[in-house]
Amino acid sequence: MSERIELAYGRIAEIPTEALAPQPFRDYFERVAGFLLSVKKDADNTKLYEDILPDRYDVSYANPDYAASKLGPDFGPILSAVYAELRGVIPSVFEGDESGTASFYELFLEIYGNFTGEELPRPETIRNIMRSYCEDYLPDFMAERVRTQVDPSDNFAVRIIMNADLTGTDYLYEFGEYISPDTIASAEYINSLPEKKVRHMAHIFAEGYRLGFIQMRIDLSKKRTVEIVYELGFERMVRYAIEEFAKMGLSPTIVRAPVRLVSKSSNRKNGYTGAIPNMQFDYDHRNDIGLFLDDEYVSKRLRAMQEAYEEVKDLAGVYAGPAVIETFGDEPFVPRKCEHAVTLSRYQQEKLTYMRNEGVKISNRYIPGDERSFTIIDFPVPAIGENYREIFDEVIKINTMDNDRYRQIQQILVDALNEGHAVRVRGANGNPTDLMVCLHELDDPETQSIFENCVADVNIPVGEVFTTPKLEGTRGTLFVSRVFLEGFEFRNLSITLDNGMITDYSCGNFADPDENRAYIEDKILFHHDTLPIGEFAIGTNTLAYVCGRKYGIEDKLPILIAEKTGPHFAMGDTCYSWSEDKPVYNPDGKEIIARDNSVSILRKTDISKAYFGCHTDITIPYSELGSIEILKRGGGTITVIENGRFVLPGTLELNIPLDEFDE
């Protein structure tokens, strides 16, 4: 393997001086060759990523529009996708993955060879080379991805974290990720905090994970592995969290966010990552799989995934699930339209959806949903502004609020909601939201509940009660003037529901209504024709809401916190997807029976119709909230919120942060 790399590297080194490829392609190959030659462990971090940073992206071959302008509309998008794939060589080099490094070098040389003959190749030839590269290496790529997720032995990231000198920040460059000034500032601040405070952060994080297993009545003692997902800069907290998990008998895996075309997903942060150099780059290449996606490729990928899990089935059986540290504070991303980015045909959208759903089914066979849990916690990064340190400390308070007190208050809400057959939610202050949410029926109110009393276990911080709505009869309009979903901004987002299914949608991001619909279809519907409402919740964390208003960061709060700052509605699968048959109980011992709806129950007859592989929370903030009313079975109403304030007796304490905050 070393010889293959040496030979390929030597051949690439000749390209910038031999002038074999005709113009305009010569410039492309010389520049990409220069990039490949520059990737070394001791390379300057900024130089590794400078070609895709925002100030250089407009003249980079990684930009499909620039590539099309220089190489023509036939070759430009394809060769731009090739370059985007080749950039995955960076982690291969840093991890010492010789096989991966060789595969990138040889892909580049094969494509280059096709441009050095007497005639230019056909664009289809280059597509086929990309396809062959992906299919040939699929078994290896998938096996490595799955193994790293469930096998804690000899983990690249864990080695760095546990051995790093955290008095400085030089260790950050060992990961091979993009290290921004914000990444360094995060590490410097967290490394400067008192040990007691950082250990407390780690304890709350790990304890939430443990409580999730208790809440779901899953025996954690049978598990051996926890997957930690985070953004670089939090190594000190992660090191202490690893110690906390060790007390539970768990060893960590920390997996890099996927960089290869065969393993990328819509969630860029599906693994550890540094700073994202350029969200526009990721957005422009999100559909590169469309170069060759068809039935044959889908079958091969699913087979490779099945074989990968089968090889490590014993390790998968003791995998407990992910523990995630998310970050927030970056400038919200509003994508620009890229005319020459690869797009998916309708057929390919259906194939991609099928492939994702089947992939979830495969992973659930080896890591059953009702035998694993998770936890998620959020912290700000310095990009949030000059009040970063104050906001960070405020978020620590939010993440460590009194669980027992909130449990008591939320139980009052749950008891009232259990009396209803429906809930009506209306907006205010120009928000036209008017939704009738239908609820499941209780067979035995003494032992059953419709809503879950959610404290700080799997979703930190504390602060919501939620249910799976009954689809039949759920109807109306959901509107939010501004919301951020997975880092993407939506303005004047409007969604219409009928019998719990999306029937219409629009937003105000672009001048062209069709472009707005395409944006929603891509980022909320994930190319499904429609989605059901999978969750209705009432957020109760008014302290988090006030934090957002006080520092003017409502637009930057992550969904994990934002969903606690008002009622929210999730489009897609239920909160219990793939584990609906597993009984779930509230702290008072009552079983939550609203785990299914008329779509998810189709798993009993046709599982392909039951799940959509997405769950997107959309929150209405208190400032846009008029009222929430419970329509009682047998007649009458109970008002929960009026004019953005809790009015149900026993819940008025939730208004204190709102009343004390002078807007």
**Residues with Cβ within 8 Å of residue 102, at least 6 apart in sequence:** 1, 4, 5, 8
Given a contact cutoff of 8 angstroms between Cβ atoms, the answer to whether 454 and 439 are in contact is no
pLDDT in the model for residue 339: 96
pLDDT in the model for residue 626: 95
CA distances from 444 to 314, 419, 438, 592, 597 (A): 40, 12, 18, 11, 19
* Closest C-alpha to 638, from 646, 629, 649, 647: 629
* pLDDT higher than threshold 80 for residue 456: no
CA dihedral 627, 633, 634, 638 (to 10 degrees): -30
Strands 645-646 and 637-642: antiparallel
Average pLDDT (227-248) is 97
- The rounded distance, in Å, linking the Cα atoms of 124 and 449 is 58
Per DSSP (E only), the strands in 190-315 are: 225-229, 251-253
Given a contact cutoff of 8 angstroms between Cβ atoms, the answer to whether 291 and 78 are in contact is yes
Farthest CA pair distance, the chain:
84
Q: In this structure, is the dihedral angle defined by the CA atoms of residues 655, 657, 660 and 662, taken in order, positive or negative?
A: negative
* pLDDT higher than threshold 70 for residue 269: no
Tell me the pLDDT tens digit for each residue of 321-346. Answer: 999 999 988 887 888 999 999 999 99
* Closest C-alpha to 100, from 259, 227, 232: 259
Token pair belonging to 586: 């509230």
CA atoms within 13 A on the CB side of 620: 30
Q: Cβ of 113: how many Cβ atoms within 10 Å?
A: 14
pLDDT in the model for residue 129: 98
Q: Cβ of 144: how many Cβ atoms within 10 Å?
A: 18
Confidence of residue 557 (pLDDT cuts 50, 70, 90): confident
- The rounded distance, in Å, linking the Cα atoms of 80 and 484 is 29
Tell me the pLDDT tens digit for each residue of 423-432. Answer: 999 999 999 9
* pLDDT higher than threshold 90 for residue 663: no
How large a percentage of the chain has pLDDT more than 90? 80
CA 312 to chain centre: 25
Given a contact cutoff of 8 angstroms between Cβ atoms, the answer to whether 658 and 545 are in contact is yes
* pLDDT higher than threshold 60 for residue 402: yes
SS3 651: coil
- What pTM was computed for the model? 0.84
How large a percentage of the chain has pLDDT more than 70? 99
pLDDT in the model for residue 205: 93
CA 315 to chain centre: 24
Tell me the pLDDT tens digit for each residue of 68-113. Answer: 999 999 999 999 999 999 999 999 999 999 999 999 999 999 999 9
Question: Rounded mean pLDDT of the chain?
Answer: 93
Average pLDDT (192-199) is 94
The residue assigned the tokens 């008891």 is 415
pLDDT in the model for residue 268: 56
Residues comprising the chain, all counted: 663
Confidence of residue 582 (pLDDT cuts 50, 70, 90): confident
Strands 434-438 and 420-427: antiparallel
Residue 526 backbone zone (phi > 0: left; psi -120 to 50: alpha; other: beta): left
Average pLDDT (390-397) is 93
More confident residue, 658 or 150: 150
Cis peptide before 123 (omega within 30 of 0): no
* Closest C-alpha to 83, from 265, 342, 295: 342
CA 39 to chain centre: 28
> What b/e string do you get for 265-276 counting C-beta neighbours within 10 Å, with b at 16 or more?
eeebbbbbbbbb
SS3 390: helix
**Residues with Cβ within 8 Å of residue 44, at least 6 apart in sequence:** none
Token pair belonging to 121: 């190749």
DSSP assignment string, 72-106 = -TTTHHHHHHHHHHHTTHHHHHHHT-HHHHHHHHH
Given a contact cutoff of 8 angstroms between Cβ atoms, the answer to whether 261 and 140 are in contact is no
Confidence of residue 419 (pLDDT cuts 50, 70, 90): very high
pLDDT in the model for residue 622: 85
Given a contact cutoff of 8 angstroms between Cβ atoms, the answer to whether 551 and 387 are in contact is yes
* pLDDT higher than threshold 60 for residue 169: yes
* Closest C-alpha to 68, from 123, 114, 129, 130: 123
> What b/e string do you get for 429-446 counting C-beta neighbours within 10 Å, with b at 16 or more?
eebebebbbbbbebeeee
